[in-house]
Chain A
Amino acid sequence: MVMTPTAYYPTTNIKTSSWRTSKPVIDYSKCTRCMICWKFCPDVAIDINENPDYEAPADRIKKMEAPFIDYDHCKGCGICANECPFDAIEMVREGEDK
């Protein structure tokens, strides 16, 4: 029998972020949950947390669905940081985490 050429698991199980040099970090105290970052991410590496418990600029949006970065697939392109209208996403060089 030959090796099977097909993948039975979703490709999201394959981590494709090892070549990233800087990563986006969301400052939830500034994030209004507008989801513009989620729309712009070219690699579907921003996901939605449906039961969030993050900081928020106002109490009424604390329980709203919030974006979070999937660091196993984010390539660090910085588009989300560039597009965020509230400067809530900062690009941090890998290995220089605060």
Chain B
Amino acid sequence: MKAQNVTREIMTGNEAVATGVKLARVKFISAYPITPQTAIVEKLAEMVANNKINAKFIEVESEHSAMASTMTSEMTGIRSFTASSSHGVLYMHEMLHWVAGSRLPVLMAVVNRAIGPPWNIWADQTDSITQRDTGWMQVYCESNQEAMDSILLGYKVAENKNVMLPIMSMQDAFTLSHTSEPVIIRDESDAYDYIGDLNLPFSIDLKNPLGYGSLMPPDGPFMELKKDMRDSMYRAIEVVKEETKKFNEKFNADFPGLIENFMMEDADYALITMGSMSSTGKYTVRKLREKGMKVGLIRILFYRPFPAEEILKSIKGLKGLGVLDRSITFGQRGAVYEDVVTSLYNKTDIPIKNYVIGLGGRDIRVKDYEKMYEGLMEGEDSMEWINVGGK
């Protein structure tokens, strides 16, 4: 390994994403601004205007158009990027299916923000969780460093010839997007060496006309194409593992990969978290360990593809497990909880509890985590709301 040229800068999550886009040598950017994602778009527009990045920037009138133009530029074999948040993500929902179904390895940065009503601009993962069935891979970041690294890694995984699916990189509103912390800027030539140029196997070319998304009758390969998407999503699990290893070797980094195990070796009780709330969880784990409580934390980075086997390995020997959902689904328990329970069905008999937490930017405090860990010891598999109604 050659000596690393390490540059550290204090930057917000939004700036980290924009820098990641620059390092990934993205050639096309199209986005519509929405709080709290706006700074990503502003930063990239500034880079394009000052020739800091060799990309075309298109201003559009809506998120639906942003995704449509990102999709069509990607079809021509150009690495393309967009970013959105909250209602913007919902507005482009249809296009998310079109991009994934067209097998285009687009990357979108999503700053997780609550869905109204009531109007709310703070952190909540409902916007991206509700896009889980669109065929996009999803990675949830805990730090600004991950917000940057997941751009490089994300394109690399998405553009793998055995995957060819788009990917969303998530960071929580304000907690990451508007909070400054030190970020190691990956070396530009190393980054290019790692990611290379996009080589789309089925790009639009005037000399070789072809159609994307044309009519497919019931006996055409419609079902086969959907099956292939799902198979590819499962293949992505191994690709994420391989690419994470390569990434960490290349940049001397410590990107965790599919999941992160925190103090899980001898843990009796553990919580499963996603995104920036994990940091408060880890602080609480250390605090409770000092009191002699054997607790741990499992952080999911990749929600799609879902790391079922990794979670099964991590929960071996536990007496109780809790799953935190920073999103809301009505008439059933939380989305992450459902996926965890489905993954562990018939493979474990430990009680699994569901916690709904932090909606609309509601504070997730150390005492909330303490309450949740204590709740696990009761051995129930109920669902509980945390920090709601003044409790």
Binding site for B on A (CB under 8 A): 1-8, 11, 14-16
Contact A5 B225 (CB under 8 A): yes
B212 proximal to A (CB < 8 A): yes
Q: Per-residue 0/1 for B185-215: is the Cβ within 8 Å of any A Cβ (1 yes, 0 no)? A: 0000000000000000110000000111111
Contact B232 A2 (CB under 8 A): yes
Chain A contacts for B212, CB-based, 8 A = 5-6
Which residue of B has the minimal Cβ distance to A4?
B202
Contact of A11 with B103 at beta-carbon distance under 8 Å, contacts A1-B162, A2-B161, A4-B202 already known: no
Contact B215 A5 (CB under 8 A): no
Contact B217 A14 (CB under 8 A): yes
Contact of B201 among A1, A11, A16 (CB under 8 A): A1
Which residue of A has the minimal Cβ distance to B160?
A2
Chain B nearest Cβ from A42, distance in angstroms: 15
Number of residue pairs spanning A and B whose beta carbons lie under 8 angstroms apart: 45
Contact of A4 among B201, B214, B215 (CB under 8 A): B201
Contact B161 A1 (CB under 8 A): yes
Contact A3 B228 (CB under 8 A): yes
Contact A5 B103 (CB under 8 A): yes
- State the majority secondary structure of interface residues on B: loop
Chain A nearest Cβ from B88, distance in angstroms: 25
Contact of A5 among B162, B163, B202, B217 (CB under 8 A): B202
Contact B211 A2 (CB under 8 A): no
Give 8 new A-B contacts, CB below 8 A, not counting A3-B103, A3-B228, A6-B211.
A1-B161, A3-B225, A5-B102, A6-B210, A7-B210, A11-B214, A14-B216, A14-B220
Separation of A14 and B222 alpha carbons in the complex (Å) = 13
Contact A2 B215 (CB under 8 A): no
28 contacts between A and B (CB under 8 A): A1-B161, A1-B201, A2-B103, A2-B162, A2-B163, A2-B164, A2-B228, A3-B103, A3-B221, A3-B224, A3-B228, A4-B103, A4-B201, A4-B202, A5-B202, A5-B212, A5-B213, A5-B225, A6-B202, A6-B210, A6-B212, A7-B210, A11-B211, A11-B215, A14-B214, A14-B215, A14-B217, A15-B217
Which residue of B has the minimal Cβ distance to A3?
B228
Separation of A43 and B391 alpha carbons in the complex (Å) = 63
Separation of A6 and B228 alpha carbons in the complex (Å) = 14
B101 proximal to A (CB < 8 A): yes
- State the majority secondary structure of interface residues on A: loop
Separation of A16 and B217 alpha carbons in the complex (Å) = 8
Contact A8 B210 (CB under 8 A): yes
Chain A contacts for B163, CB-based, 8 A = 2
Chain A contacts for B164, CB-based, 8 A = 2
Chain B nearest Cβ from A11, distance in angstroms: 5
Chain A contacts for B232, CB-based, 8 A = 2
Chain A contacts for B214, CB-based, 8 A = 7, 11, 14
Chain A contacts for B103, CB-based, 8 A = 2-5
Determine which residue in A2, A6, A11, A15 has the highest number of CB atoms from chain B within 10 A of its CB, and name it: A2
Separation of A14 and B221 alpha carbons in the complex (Å) = 12
Chain B contacts for A14, CB-based, 8 A = 214-217, 220
Separation of A11 and B79 alpha carbons in the complex (Å) = 28
Which residue of B has the minimal Cβ distance to A15?
B217
10 closest Cβ pairs, A-B complex: A3-B228, A2-B164, A5-B103, A6-B210, A11-B214, A7-B211, A6-B202, A7-B214, A8-B210, A5-B102
